[in-house]
Amino acid sequence: MRFLIAGAAAALLFAPGAVRAQAPTEPHAVVVPANTERWMPAPGVLPPGARLAVVEGDPMKPGTYTMRLWMPDGYRLPPHFHSTPEHVTVLSGTFLVGMGDQFDATKLSPLDAGSFGMIPPGMRHFAQARGEVVLQLHGTGPWTLTYVNASDAPRGTR
């Protein structure tokens, strides 16, 4: 079952102060000074408690995007996969990542601030935040998230 972050991403993209790319024919620069991104509750496809800031592009449409995800200590992402490569840079905190169809804390590997990872399309993985974590996710949309087990999908997105 595929889940898209349609409604919440659209709300983020049209929020006052959100940084968006110009029409493709217009040259433009996107500059986001530190601590000026617009944080909103993460879309319903993610477990409750996280916040998201779209800083460039539209993750729901074809084309490039950049977004940031804030997670509280202990936040877990059940096993899932994406339809496009997932590019992740850890901006702060320690992000724990494991590969496979089942959440297994013994398989988590720590990625500290400054770490980068790329997970190919379809590769099943899971994650947990150690301390508050901020990730920067970038890629080519549309961004999707599919849970390995439909029962892991947050309520209302199944």
- What is the residue-wise DSSP string for 41-66? EPPTTSPTT-EEEEEEE-TTSSEEEE
Q: What is the pLDDT of residues 63-121, one digit of tens each?
A: 999 999 999 999 999 999 999 999 999 999 999 999 999 999 999 999 999 999 999 99
Q: Are 82 and 145 in contact (CB under 8 A)?
A: yes
pTM: 0.82
Question: Is the pLDDT confidence value at 142 over 60?
Answer: yes
Mean pLDDT calculated for residue range 5-22: 42
Query: What does the alpha-carbon distance between residue 129 and residue 110 come to, in Å, rounded to a whole number?
Result: 9
Q: Which of 108, 52, 106, 47 is nearest to 78 (CA)?
A: 47
149 has a pLDDT exceeding 70: yes
Confidence of residue 8 (pLDDT cuts 50, 70, 90): very low
On average, the pLDDT of the chain sits at: 87
Does the residue 24 lie in any domain? no
Cis before 142? omega within 30: yes
Domain ranges, residue 7: 3-17+37-149
Number of folded domains in the chain?
A: 1
Q: Does residue 68 sit within a domain? A: yes
In a domain, 136, yes or no: yes
- CATH number of domain containing 42: 2.60.120.10
Examine residue 119 and state whether it is found in any structural domain, yes or no: yes
Max CA distance (Å), the chain: 49
Contact call for residues 97 and 117 (beta carbons, < 8 A): yes
More confident residue, 26 or 84: 84
Stretch 54-65: mean pLDDT: 94
